[in-house]
Amino acid sequence: MCHVRKGLLVSRSSVVFAFPGQGSQRRGMLDAIPESDNLERLLDAAEALTGYELRRLAYEGSAAEISDTRVAQPLLYLADWAWGSALLDVGVKPVAVAGHSLGELAALSIAGVYSVEAGLELVCRRSRLMAQTAEDTPGTMAACLGLDHAAVAHAIGDLEDVWVANHNSPEQVVVSGTHEGVAQARDMLTAGGARRIVDLDVAGPFHSPLMSRAAERFSETLDETELNEADIPVIQNSRPEPSTDSASIRSALHAQMTSPVLWTESMRAMAEYSPVTLIESGPGSVLKGLARKVQNLPAISVEETDLKTLVEEVL
């Protein structure tokens, strides 16, 4: 197994690509991406795989249409991949890559673990399974602001049907579960001193044991997919330690759908490459905002900085 040594010092130009996940989708998410024949080809392939008019939805779809898991995930995967490819094309080479939830699948493609086409097939399969399971097992998610992971875990420890789903930052933790379980958690977290509880606009109880059926079926597809050793170290959600080992990557990907997204731990792993800059390589600036909560991890959003300026800043 190949791990990056902790505390490794790299040059001033070192960067980590971080790919956003579901929740960052919006109409127009493809507008700012540099023109690419490959992206157009892949959009055609994604439409064939999903049966949705993804290109039209990306440019004209309503918020509700784009938030459909079966639409959001393929579009985000392709947007993330396109931005990562554009950065590589202009000479920005990362020391590591990571992705938040769905973004991890784009990170693995950019790292060479599988082709972009193979990743697209996995994403389309993943999105269908998650949507089906969420319809059969309804649930929701909520973000707790102002408490750390330990405090949130303690507050909901005696509750059933609700779990910690995302360690997004030292002060933002997401819980996931049944509607009743999350409602009970909201009360307990408020009583425990949470500054604010924000209901998330999601279609199901993601990153919780309630996704077990989807995870089992996705694992069958994953086992049929060849994974290569990574060309770039990958920091994964369920095992936030940089690795290039394909067996380790496969194991962590198997666990991802039902395990918490350890994003705080992932960002701290990125920061250990110090000095380093996180480049949010996809729509929006959610990950840039979360990085502000971690010491020694400056961040840039590709959508907020043109590529020429970005290259001048990091190289």
For the CA atoms of 314, 277, 206, 172, the dihedral, rounded to the nearest 10 degrees, stands at -140
| One-letter amino acid for residue 190 of the chain | T
Q: Which residue out of 14, 24, 85, 101 is catalytically annotated?
A: 101
What pTM, to 2 d.p., does this model score? Answer: 0.94
- Supply the DSSP symbol for 31: T
Please give the angle made by the CA atoms of 18, 40 and 96, to the nearest 5 degrees: 20
With 60 as the cut, is the pLDDT of residue 274 above it? yes
The Cα–Cα gap between 219 and 253 comes to 9
* pLDDT band, residue 314 (cuts 50/70/90): confident
pLDDT at 1: 37
Q: Give the model confidence (pLDDT) of 145-197 as tens digits.
A: 999 999 999 999 999 999 999 999 999 999 999 999 999 999 999 999 999 99
Q: Give the pLDDT mean for 136-146.
A: 96
What stretches of the chain show up as alpha helix (H) in DSSP? 37-50, 54-60, 63-67, 69-89, 103-110, 116-136, 149-156, 179-191, 212-223, 246-256, 263-271, 286-291, 307-314
% of the chain with per-residue pLDDT over 70: 96
pLDDT at 13: 58
Task: Note if 251 is an active site residue.
Answer: no
Q: Which CATH superfamily is domain 15-136+208-314 in?
A: Malonyl-Coenzyme A Acyl Carrier Protein, domain 2 (3.40.366.10)
| Paired tokens of 107 | 């990170």
Q: Which single residue is written with the structure tokens 């690795």?
A: 243
pLDDT at 5: 32
Q: Which residue out of 207, 266, 281, 285 is catalytically annotated?
A: 207
pLDDT at 112: 98
pLDDT at 202: 86
- Contact partners, residue 12, CB within 8 Å, separation at least 6: 275
Per-domain residue ranges of the chain: 15-136+208-314, 140-199
Task: Note if 154 is an active site residue.
Answer: no
The two most distant CA atoms of the chain are separated, in Å, by 53
Query: Which residue has better confidence, 127 or 201?
Result: 127
Q: What is the mean pLDDT of the chain?
A: 93
- Topology of the domain comprising 140-199: Alpha-Beta Plaits (3.30.70)
Q: Give the pLDDT mean for 46-70.
A: 96
The Cα–Cα gap between 1 and 243 comes to 7
With 70 as the cut, is the pLDDT of residue 3 above it? no
* pLDDT band, residue 2 (cuts 50/70/90): very low
Q: What are phi and psi of 53, to 5 degrees?
A: -85, 70
Q: How many residues does the chain have?
A: 315
Q: Give the model confidence (pLDDT) of 251-264 as tens digits.
A: 999 999 999 999 99
Query: Around 284, how many Cα atoms within 13 Å sit in the side-chain half-sphere?
Result: 16
pLDDT at 192: 95
**SS3 breakdown of the chain: % helix, strand, coil, rounded to 5?**
45, 15, 40
What stretches of 144-194 show up as alpha helix (H) in DSSP? 149-156, 179-191
pLDDT at 7: 36
